[in-house]
Amino acid sequence: MSGKIRVSLDCDFYFLDNDNEHTCATDFNNPADICPFYRTASFGQKELCGFAESRLLRKQDGTGFLIPCKGCIFNKYKWVRKN
């Protein structure tokens, strides 16, 4: 065995907010509209990217959409689903 293992990820898309910018979720009431790597810690007080292991921030424009971290694989390859 070479030490490498090929894995695949069954994930549909990434999401755009109202300003057509990337976001991690568009509707928390619908699990299909949340990135599969979205995580919380500290009883929901910290929002994290499970892929890049980074903290997520929210837009401060009143909408509260999540801003993807720099290591986001969906943002990197521009995999997008428009609402």
pLDDT tens-digit series, residues 7-58 = 776 665 667 888 888 888 888 898 888 888 899 999 888 999 998 889 999 9
Is the residue at 3 inside a domain? no
Q: Would 24 be classed as within a structural domain?
A: yes
**Residue among 28, 33, 31, 30 at smallest CA distance from 14:** 33
Number of domains in the chain: 1
Give the residues across from 41 on adjacent strands.
46
Residue 8 belongs to a domain:
no
pLDDT, position 46: 92
Residue 5 or residue 59, greater confidence: 59
| Whole-number Å distance between alpha carbons of 3 and 44 | 36
Q: Is the pTM of this model over 0.75?
A: no
Dist CA 73 CA 67 (whole Å): 13
Whether residue 82 lies inside any domain: the answer is: no
